[in-house]
Amino acid sequence: MLSGDIYLKSLNVFYGPVHAVKGIDLSIEEGKVTTILGANGAGKSSTLKAIVGGVNYTGSIVVGTVPIDGMPVHKRVENGIVLCPEGRGIFYTMTVKENLLAGAYTRKHAKLELAFEIFPVLKERINQIAGTLSGGEQQMLAIARAIMAEPKYLLLDEPSLGLAPVVIEKIAEVIREINKRGITIILVEQNTTLALSLAHKAYILENGRVAAEGKPDELMKSDVIRQKYLGGVRA
Ligand SMILES: Nc1ncnc2c1ncn2[C@@H]1O[C@H](COP(=O)(O)OP(=O)(O)OP(=O)(O)O)[C@@H](O)[C@H]1O
Ligand SMILES: [Mg+2]
């Protein structure tokens, strides 16, 4: 099992002629919540996909002291690097239970207990077809399914997307709870208020480059950064 901080070193992602991520350097501290912010198309999802091995990249990704660049996706998942993708990616025609068990495909002894502890609502709905859950419940299921893979590093791509404020607050609680259990979180969000309230460190991407980085309170001290990248949010 891998452990330690994650370092992205001169990471580039190309899709044919499209240069989506342009040589970024990120440090992701073990046990903390790091957020990656930025406008549509800034390269946030591409960065997460590179970490989990879902896209080709150049540069290097190091976990602790181990470069993982040659490692295929399923090995990274076995080593505890797990992505909860944008748009949820749950199996809509399968039940809650079937979705959860599918998330544990790399684990021999899948345990539903942890998922139910963090998401009691799913226990009540164990046999419900996923497609009939509410939007918030579906997002909970997507995160719960990722938890079933027993992550050390949980990568969340826009978990608040399309959800009502009260549900977003629930998601925030869940992310805090998961992090308290020692799981390192990398959170991609367009909801900057949510992300900055959870994060120990933030990176702001712009056109595939790091435009700013720092602790949330430091970033919010800068009027330029607040106006330009954070939608004018206040601490
Ligand atoms: N499979 C692909 N093929 C071609 N171009 C792609 C592909 N995936 C992403 N891109 C392009 O790469 C750039 C970065 O995309 P990415 O999905 O990483 O952005 P993002 O920051 O996650 O945006 P959003 O907030 O809209 O999800 C965009 O210009 C996008 O069009
Ligand atoms: Mg994205």
pLDDT, residue 226, reads: 87
Instruction: Choose one of 11, 22, 24, 44 to mutate for the ligand 1 pocket test, by most ligand atoms within 8 angstroms of C-beta.
Output: 44
pLDDT, residue 235, reads: 58
Going by C-alpha positions, the residue among 8, 32, 7 that lies closest to residue 184 is 32
Tens of pLDDT along 113-161?
Answer: 889 999 999 999 999 999 999 999 999 999 999 999 999 999 999 999 9
Cα 12 to ligand 1 centroid, rounded to whole Å: 13
Instruction: Choose one of 21, 24, 45 to mutate for the ligand 1 pocket test, by most ligand atoms within 8 angstroms of C-beta.
Output: 45
Query: 219 CB contacts (<8 Å, ≥6 apart)?
Result: 196, 202, 204, 212, 213, 225, 226, 230
Q: Determine the Cα–Cα distance for residues 185 and 30; give it in Å rounded to an integer.
A: 8
Contact 182, 138 (CB under 8 A): no
Report which residue type is found at 42: A
Q: Which residue has a Cα nearest atom 11 of ligand 1?
A: 20
Indicate whether 21 pLDDT > 90.
yes
- Identify the structural domains of the chain with CATH numbers, from first to last: 6-229 (3.40.50.300)
What is the atom index within ligand 1 of the atom nearest the CA of 55? Answer: 1
**Confidence class of residue 178 from pLDDT cuts 50, 70 and 90?**
very high
Sign (positive/negative) of CA torsion 82, 9, 28, 193? negative
Tens of pLDDT along 26-66?
Answer: 999 999 999 999 999 999 999 999 999 999 999 999 999 99
pLDDT, residue 228, reads: 86
Q: Is the full-model pTM beyond 0.85?
A: yes
Q: Determine the Cα–Cα distance for residues 168 and 170; give it in Å rounded to an integer.
A: 5
Q: Which residues of 71-98 are buried (b: 16+ CB within 10 A; e: fewer)?
A: beeeebbbbbbbbbbbebebeeeebbbe
List, chain by chain if needed, residues with CB within 6 Å of any ligand 1 atom.
Answer: 15, 18, 20, 38, 40-46, 86, 190
3-class secondary-structure state, position 53: coil
